[in-house]
């Protein structure tokens, strides 16, 4: 084997070792957030007091959207939510937050489309391809949030499934949970590091450290996975788009699971749309697959939780999965609903191409200004 091949192999081994370490760090971080939240809140009763301002599901929705827009990662936010639920955050508040995270994550590919702003035609194509994701997620929330508030459909289904895998004596995973022994020493190190603080401040510090670790780990993990897999991801993207909706949705989910980031997946498509290689209708199913694929991170995070909180942590992760799967099945499955995001995205792109400040105003207003103002007003 030549020296260059040896160096290449060594580099790949190091890269995958770093990926494994970062996956472990995500699990540790979620465990840290969960443990810290329990200490800071003094149990579930205290947690309810801390999140009293978000008992309105619409405020919780906006909180999830705003948080995701700020960190530009729904994977990060949903992982934090899993940890908070395990620490006592009411699941009725967490569900709208997860839905909001779906809305907030669409800002990344919309920002990528701004890179085509110098060319009117390119910008119109790119902006339409990016905002179809926005309108799909808004439509999904418009349909499913009221249903969830009135009937709790997603929560009930998720609770049934999580009880099957965690709570049932015959099928319990608790006795096979090897994650807790792996992460417990590292979580203990974090707790010891902030133990110089007093009382509940230790819990608050653990939550802050845990969130910082999640943000670092998920961001870095995305970069390393792109380095390891982006060539294959691009090949899959090129081969799948245009082969029909089922292939598009499936490959969108597969690529997103590979790179652990729906933002990365959807952003890969925008330059292709801007250059005219694919149109918005062709890219649309791939985007929906990315919505499904991004739920893998919350499921991964839920595996780090054990004990009494394991079931509720898995419940919120499953809610995320089912929300995205059901939204794709319902909206894309009904022709009238399927066309709405396309029509709205193309109309907005036409307006934005003719009025660039309006396009920038849409991005800032939709993801930051309006959610922020509404949240402050409600509080």
Q: Per-residue confidence of the chain (379 residues) as pLDDT tens digits?
A: 566 677 777 777 887 788 788 878 877 887 787 678 667 755 444 444 444 456 688 888 988 888 887 776 787 788 888 888 888 888 989 999 999 999 988 887 887 788 788 889 989 999 999 999 999 999 999 999 999 999 999 999 999 999 888 754 443 444 444 556 777 888 889 889 988 888 778 888 888 888 788 778 766 776 776 676 556 656 666 666 767 888 889 988 987 887 667 777 787 788 878 888 788 998 999 999 999 998 988 888 887 787 778 889 999 999 999 999 999 999 999 999 999 999 999 999 999 999 989 998 998 888 878 777 876 776 6
State both tokens at 21: 């370490």
Q: What is the pTM of this model?
A: 0.76
> In this structure, what DSSP letter does residue 369 have?
I
Count: domains in the chain: 1
> What is the token pair recorded at 292?
């499904």
* Rounded distance between C-alpha atoms, residue 218 and residue 75, angstroms: 7
333 exposure class (CB count in 10 Å sphere: 0-12, 13-18, 19+): exposed
Structural element, H or E, at residue 158: helix 153-162
Q: How far apart are CA 56 and CA 291, in angstroms?
A: 25
Burial class (CB in 10 A: 0-12, 13-18, 19+), 68: buried
Listed residue (338, 330, 327, 232) closest to 281, CA to CA: 338
* Contact call for residues 374 and 161 (beta carbons, < 8 A): no
Contact partners, residue 336, CB within 8 Å, separation at least 6: none
Range of the domain at 202: 3-378
Cα dihedral 44/46/48/51 (nearest 10): -130
Q: How big, in percent rounded to 5, are the helix, strand and coil portions of the chain? A: 85, 0, 15
């Amino acid at each position: 084997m030549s020296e260059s091949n040896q160096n290449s192999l060594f580099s790949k081994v190091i890269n995958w070792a770093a990926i494994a370490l970062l996956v472990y760090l995500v699990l540790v971080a979620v465990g840290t957030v969960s443990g810290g939240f329990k200490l800071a809140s003094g149990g579930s009763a205290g947690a309810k007091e801390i999140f009293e301002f978000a008992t309105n599901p619409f405020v919780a929705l906006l909180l999830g959207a705003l948080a995701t827009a700020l960190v530009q990662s729904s994977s990060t936010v949903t992982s934090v939510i899993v940890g908070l639920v395990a620490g006592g955050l009411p699941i009725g508040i967490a569900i709208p937050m997860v839905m909001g995270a779906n809305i907030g994550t669409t800002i990344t590919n919309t920002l990528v489309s701004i890179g085509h702003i110098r060319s009117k035609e390119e910008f119109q194509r790119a902006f339409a391809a990016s905002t179809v994701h926005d309108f799909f997620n808004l439509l999904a929330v418009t349909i499913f949030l009221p249903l969830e508030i009135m009937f709790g459909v997603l929560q009930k289904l998720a609770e049934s499934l999580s009880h099957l895998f965690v709570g049932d004596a015959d099928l319990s995973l608790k006795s096979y949970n090897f994650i807790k022994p792996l992460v417990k020493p590292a979580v203990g190190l974090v707790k010891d590091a902030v133990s110089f603080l007093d009382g509940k401040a230790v819990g608050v510090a653990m939550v802050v450290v845990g969130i910082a670790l999640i943000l670092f780990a998920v961001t870095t993990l995305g970069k390393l996975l792109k380095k390891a897999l982006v060539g294959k991801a691009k090949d899959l993207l090129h081969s799948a788009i245009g082969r029909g909706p089922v292939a598009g949705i499936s490959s969108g989910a597969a690529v997103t699971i590979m790179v652990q980031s729906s933002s990365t997946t959807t952003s890969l498509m925008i330059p292709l749309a801007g250059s005219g290689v694919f149109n918005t209708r062709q890219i649309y199913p791939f985007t929906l697959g990315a919505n499904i694929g991004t739920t893998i991170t919350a499921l991964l995070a839920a595996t780090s939780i054990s004990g009494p909180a394991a079931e509720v942590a898995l419940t919120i992760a499953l809610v995320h999965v089912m929300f995205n799967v059901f939204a794709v099945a319902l909206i894309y499955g009904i022709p009238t609903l399927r066309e709405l995001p396309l029509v709205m995205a193309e109309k907005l792109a036409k307006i934005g191409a003719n009025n660039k400040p309006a396009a920038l105003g849409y991005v800032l207003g939709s993801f930051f200004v309006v959610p922020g103002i509404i949240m402050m007003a409600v509080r």
